[in-house]
Amino acid sequence: MDILKSKLDPENLAALTAIRNPHLHAYIADAIELLDPAQVLVLTDSKEDLQSLRDMAKSSGGGECPLKMKGHTFHFDGCNDQGRDTFSTRYLLPKGVDLGESLNSIEREQGLQEIRGLLKGAMAGRTMLVCFWCLCPTGSEFSISCVQVTDSPYVAHSESILYRPGYEQFKKLDADSEFFRFMHSQGKVNEHGCSVEWEKRRVYIDLTQNIVYSVNTQYAGNTVGLKKLALRLAIQKASKEGWLAEHMFIMGVAGPGGRTTYFTGAFPSACGKTSTAMLPGQTIIGDDIAYLRKKNGKVYAANVEQGIFGIIEDVNSQDDPVIYRALTSPGEVIFGNVLIAEGKPNWVGKGSELREKGINFQGEWHKGKTDKDGKPIPPSHKNARYTIRLSALANLDPEADNPQGVPVGGIIYGGRDSDTHVPVEQAFDWTEGIIAKGASIESETTAATIGQAGVRKFNIMANQDFVSIPLGQYIKINLDFALAVPKPPAIFSTNYFLLDANGKFLNGKLDKMIWLLWAELRVNGDVDALRTPTGWIPKYEDLVLLFKSKLNKAYSQDDYVKQFTVCVANLLAKYDRVERIYREKVSDTPQIVYDTFAAIRRRLQDAQAKYGNTISPLLLKSK
């Protein structure tokens, strides 16, 4: 209490001690001793505190600058802080604990000494912000209370858009209630407010204490603790308590007669996840992270967030009309790493001609400008982002804040794949769905993570970077989750990135709506399907009707054959690659994974002997 009194004025001290949790008080006191701030502000759920946070973010050094449109601001992260740093993100593990070689880790005491050394005195002369948020709707069995300590008003402001207020819920917690903790400092910054010691960027996760430390970074994926960092904590918590924490959207898909079927979907970053959740005529509950629980013999899902931190490249009025309307209307929006010209945001793929000069993440920019290596500097970064509340979207589902969650009818796993998987396919059952669709995702890397783009990468459940338990255990938990569920959700794979021989996409951007609507019909038993060696695919005549009625578009049999030809040889090679990863890197892989791969391989080899390396869908039989 003496430490708290040394930095908190009476008003802020009263706000903190109104939460009668000694573990919280000890955590804040430890943060004060370590970070040495000039003062501490405790933010409650009040409208006044929220407005104060907005004002701080736009003040000098706050991380944001206002744009011409009311409520719009922009933020730059700097040239070397533009994505999730998977290399420097590590788990702090006690001696003797091993998550497997596929997950980055460091011995806990060594890691704590390093990260706390980097954080020592990091807030000298600055204000420490103490913020309280809630994952999922408050007052729900899904909800988890969180506290964030940061010296970045931009980070705190972003969280106020993305997460539900949690101060009042904290006040209701028991003295021994569990909560998640996040400690962040942007470190030294330049005149533009960007973190400059990016070589010392660290994001360390202490699973034993539910604490995440991050320093020398501002990019939201490394600093907004409640996002992917909290997902890592939640996965471990869920594994102990019998529920799932997944990298999934939740959306309502419109079926015949006013019916709504809820789907979750897991896609690696920049693979169409948000654009799927925002399809015209459908409703959104959340675009990124979902918690799934079993109740009354059914699976229910709740959205962890109340906002979107989305990739803005190629968001335009034609392909993403709902998001585009929200981004170009007055309201609270943070634009990150876009081009700013004459007080307005510009980005690649906006659908209108870009300005030829302005400022962006690297400073002054003009058309044709190159970097030190002579490479063209794009007007906006490929991983440029927007942060916005879901309530700003016209298609928000009425059940978005239901504390009970929504019943899940189907689960979708997608990725970037130019030559192997068909646009949509239903797994034969839950086991094959989890193993052959979810636990076998390969996807080309994108600018959303630091490193080389365009590399085909294994990404289990589109959750590889965030799994905080051994991968074999993670698969088993997913397989066992359907036990005691008489009719578990149907599982589908999707692929929006098939290319023809000339390197052109075989599908239009809105075609994904047809694949989703077909999946909705399958969940409800309204259409038959064709059997392939790896699952069920649509019949041509059903797609013709959907394309005509939903997109007013003719769908040729030639297009159907190109898109839904089964690439037997490529699939065999894919499952060989994935199995090799499990055998070489996942020591605790359940035997059922190998048995499932063997069964799929036999079916593919039988088909190869009968049809050759490819199978036209016109040769397949109905269910």
Residue 179: which CATH number?
3.40.449.10
Residues 331 and 425 in one domain: no
Q: Are residues 338 and 431 in the same domain?
A: no
Cβ atoms < 10 Å from Cβ of 391: 14
Both 366 and 483 in one domain: the answer is: no
Domain end, chosen from 208, 241, 274, is at 241
The token duo for 135 is 């994952």
Q: Interhelix angle for 47-58 vs 153-162, to 10°?
A: 140
Question: Bridge-partner residues for 129, per DSSP?
Answer: 41, 150
pLDDT at residue 268 in the model: 87
Contact 197, 118 (CB under 8 A): no
What pLDDT is stored for residue 464 in this prediction?
87
- 155 and 276, same domain (yes or no): no
Count of domains observed in the chain: 3
Work out the burial of residue 407: count CB atoms within 10 Å of its CB; fewer than 13 is exposed, 13-18 middle, 19 or more buried.
middle
Classify residue 11: in a domain, yes or no. Answer: yes
Residues 6+ apart with CB under 8 A from 417: 442, 443, 444, 495, 497, 498
Sort 117 into a burial class: Cβ within 10 Å, 0-12 / 13-18 / 19+: exposed
Residues 612 and 519 in one domain: yes
Same domain (yes/no): 95, 183: yes
Q: Residue 447 belongs to what domain range?
A: 245-306+400-618
46 half-sphere exposure, CB direction, 13 A CA radius: 7
Q: What is the pLDDT of residue 193?
A: 79
> Average pLDDT per run of 10 along the chain, which is 623 residues long?
95 96 96 97 97 94 94 91 85 83 84 97 97 96 97 96 97 92 94 87 94 94 90 95 96 97 91 86 95 96 95 89 94 97 96 90 92 91 94 96 97 93 97 97 68 74 90 96 95 95 90 97 98 98 97 97 97 96 93 98 97 96 75
CATH of the domain at 548: 3.90.228.20
**Domain check: are 295 and 353 in the same one?**
no
Residues 374 and 443 in one domain: no
Catalytic residue among 131, 134, 271, 567: 271
Q: Of the candidates 241, 263, 298, which is a domain's last residue?
A: 241
**CB neighbour list of residue 295: distance below 8 Å, 6 or more residues apart:** 404
Domain boundary (341, 359, 392) is at 392
Known catalytic membership, residue 194 = no
Shared domain check, 134 and 219: yes
Domain contains 251:
yes
Let me know whether 179 and 226 are in one domain.
Answer: yes
Residue 70 lies in a domain: no
374 C-beta neighbours (distance < 10 Å), count: 6
pLDDT for the residue 102: 59
